[in-house]
Structure 1
Amino acid sequence: MTDSHRREGGYPQENRPGPAGPFGVYPPPPAYPPGTGAAHAKRQRPRPRPVALFAAVAITAALVGGGTAAAVQQFLGTAPGSGPGGFSGSPISQSSAGTVSGVAEQVGPSVVRIDTRGGGGQSTGSGVVITGDGEVVTNNHVISGASEIQVTTSDGKKYAAKLVGTDPDKDLALIRLEGAKGLKPARLGDSGKLRVGEEVVAIGSPDRLTGTVTSGIVSALDREVNVPKSKSPQGERGSGGWPFSFDGRQFNGDTGSDTTSYKAIQTDASLNPGNSGGALVNMAGEVVGMPSAIYSPGNDSSTAGSVGLGFAIPVNAIKADLDSLRKGGPGGAGSPGPSGYGSGFGTSF
C-alpha cells in the first residue's frame, strides 16, 4: 500500500501491476516528465508580474517612508496639523511688524523720561538711548538750566545723569547715565527718505507719563521752526509748551531774541509738553526725528494740549552732530550750580 499513491510531480514508476481496485487494476502512470502536463501547469503558482511587483515595492516604500516621516515629526516635536507649536521662539508675532503696537514694543525700551531740577524749578522731557552703556540724546531746552538730571527708563529704573555736550544752535544735547549697562539703543534711520503722508509713531513722556505712544502721519517736511536757545524760567511743564515761532508768528509764549532755527518734520501725531527730546519713529522701527515743538492754543498748562501741529528735528541732523556732542559740543558741558548745567548727581523727584 505504500506505493498506492504517487506523489504529485514524481517521476514515472516501473510498469508493474498495481493493487486491484473495485473496477480493476489501476492504470499505469503517464509517460511524460513531471511538470509538463496541463494539470501541473494549472497547479503551478504563477510568477508575480513586474507591474504587481512594482506596486508592492511602492506600497512598502510608502509605509516605510510614512513611518520615517512620523518618526521625524516625533523627534522635532511636531505632528500633522499641529503647526510650528513644537518650536520655541520669540513671542512677538510676525504679524505685528509694521503696526503701531509692534513699533511701540520694539522702540519703547529705547525712550526714557528726563526730569530736571534747577533755578527755574522742575521740568520733564524725554530722551533716546543711543548706546547700551547709557548715552542719551535729547533737546538742549530739556536740560538747559538744570542743576540735577534724573533719567527713568521704560522698566522704571532711575539713573543719575551727567551732561556730556550741548549744541544750542541745533537744540540738541547729549547726556550719559551713571552706572547704566545693557540698555537697548534705538536704531537711527534716514530722515531723508521720509515722504509726506507716511505713518509715524511718537514715543515720549508727556506730563511725566513715561512711555506714552501716539501715532499719526508726516504732515509736511522742511518746516522752518525758530526756538529759544535756553529754557524759559517756567520750564516746559509750566508754560504748556516750548515757545517757538513759525512763519513770523509766535506760539506758546515769547521766544525772545536769542533763538535758533531748523528745518523740521511736521506731524499730526499727538505731542504734548514732555514729548520734547523723545522719538518720532517710522513703521520699520527706526527713529527718524526728535519731537521738539508743538502748537498749544492755551497759554497755561490747564488748557495746553495737542491740536495736531507738532514739529521734530530730523534724525539726520542728530546723527551729524553726535561726534561734536561727545566732545562737549559748541555749547560745552556746562558747570554745576543752579544757573549752570547738571553735575550728574540726580535725585528722586
Structure 2
Amino acid sequence: MTMTTGLGGSPRGPEFLSPGIDERAAGVPPATAGGAPARAARRWPLVAAAGLTVVAISAGTGGAAGYLAAPEATPTDPAAAPPPAAPGVPSDLVGAAARALPGVVSVQVRTGSGGASGSGFVFDDRGHIVTNNHVVAARGGGAVSVVGSDGRRLTAEVVGTDPSSDIAVLRVTPSAALRPLDRADLRATRVGEPVLAVGSPLGLSGTVTAGIISALDRPVRLGGTVRQTAVQTDASINPGNSGGPLVNARGEVVGVNTAIATLEGGGSIGIGFAVPIDRAAQVATTLIGRG
C-alpha cells in the first residue's frame, strides 16, 4: 500500500484501507483454493485501491497537523426502497453562498515552526467559532486568530477541543459582521442534494465550490481508530478547507469539512468527508458549556 506524504505535517494516523482489500502486507493476496481465476478476480480491486489515501485537509502555509481517515465497508440492502425526495429543495446556490459567506472565517494558527491555516464558521451570536481540532492541535501555545468576510482580523481563544470527533471551538469578540449560520436538519437531508463547501483552501478566503451529497452515513475512521459516520460529498475541498462548513442550497450547515481522499498524494479527487452537523453541534455545545 503506497503511503502519501499527506497534506500537512505530523502527526499522521493509520493508512487507508479500501473496503474489501485484505489488511495484510500490501500486494500479498490471501490464500485461496480457486487458483488463477480467483487471483485474476482480485486484480482489479487491488489496483484500484493502490495509493488511495484519505487525509486531513487543514494544511496552510506552514503545514498544519493532519491525520488519515479510513472508510469502512457499508452493507447495502438491494431490496430497501430509496427514501422519498425532499420536497421543495432549492437550487439557488448563488443565494446559498450569499447567506453562508458572512458566517465563514479563515482560521490562522501560529506554530513553533511557522504558521498554518484552516477555516471555521460562526456557531452562535456570542462569538463562538467551530473548526476542526486538527487545525489548532499543533499550535504549541502559539496565537490563533480569525479573519472574517469583511477582512477584519480578530484574536481567538481556544475554548475547547475534542480530538475524537475532530471538533474545536474558538471564541472571538462578537461582531455584527460575523453572522451565525443556520444548521440543517439531517433527517430531511437527502443524497443528491446540492451543497457548497465554503472556506479558505490554500489561503484563498471566501472560496465556494459546488457539488452534491454523495452519502450521508459513510463509516470512516477519524481521529485515529475511532469509527464514526460522515457526510460524503464530491464538492471540491482542499488544504485550508478544514473546519469550514458544507452547506445546503438554503445556506444551512450540513457538516464540518474534515478530510479528503487523494491518489498518490494529489489534491481533491471528488471524495470528501464532513462531520455531520448534529454531532458537531452537540460536541460544540458541550465544549462551550465546559469553557
Which structure would you say has the larger RCO, counting Cα contacts within 8 Å and 6 or more residues apart? 2
Q: Distance in 2 between matches of 1:149 and 1:318?
A: 21
One-letter amino acid of the structure 1 residue matched with residue 256 of structure 2: M
8 A contact 2:167–2:284 mirrored in 1: no
Greater fraction of residues in helix: 1
The 5 A counterparts of 1:169-188 are 169-177=164-172, 179-182=173-176, 183-188=178-183
294, 301, 305: which is aligned to 2:267?
305
182, 193, 196: which is aligned to 2:191?
196
SS in structure 1 of the partner of residue 164 of structure 2:
helix
Q: Distance in 2 between matches of 1:293 and 1:197?
A: 20
8 A contact 2:118–2:135 mirrored in 1: yes
Q: Match of 1:45?
A: none
- Whether 1:125 aligns to 2:118 is yes
Q: Give the number of aligned pairs.
A: 199
Residue by residue, what CA displacement relative to the aligned partner does 1:240-288 show, whole Å, maximum 9, x if unpaired? xxxxxxxxxxxxxxxxxx4433210110001101111001111112111
Q: Distance in 2 between matches of 1:261 and 1:162?
A: 29
8 A contact 1:270–1:306 mirrored in 2: yes
Residue by residue, what CA displacement relative to the aligned partner does 1:137-191 show, whole Å, maximum 9, x if unpaired? 11111111212111000110001101001111111110001x3322211011112
Q: Distance in 2 between matches of 1:309 and 1:288?
A: 16
Q: Match of 2:105?
A: 112
Q: How much does 1:305 deviate? A: 1.9
The 5 A counterparts of 1:119-158 are 119-146=112-139, 147-158=142-153
Q: Distance in 1 between matches of 2:234 and 2:144?
A: 30
Q: Distance in 2 between matches of 1:200 and 1:296?
A: 21
Specify every segment of 5 or more residues in structure 2 that has no aligned partner in the other structure, as ranges: 1-89
- Whether 1:324 aligns to 2:281 is no
Q: Which has the larger radius of gyration?
A: 1
Q: Match of 1:102?
A: 95
8 A contact 1:203–1:214 mirrored in 2: yes
Runs in 1 of length 4+ with deviation above 4 angstroms?
none
Q: TM-score, normalised by structure 1?
A: 0.54
Specify every segment of 5 or more residues in structure 1 that has no aligned partner in the other structure, as ranges: 1-96, 229-257, 334-349
Q: Distance in 2 between matches of 1:180 and 1:198?
A: 32
For the aligned residues, what is the CA RMSD?
1.6
8 A contact 1:164–1:327 mirrored in 2: no
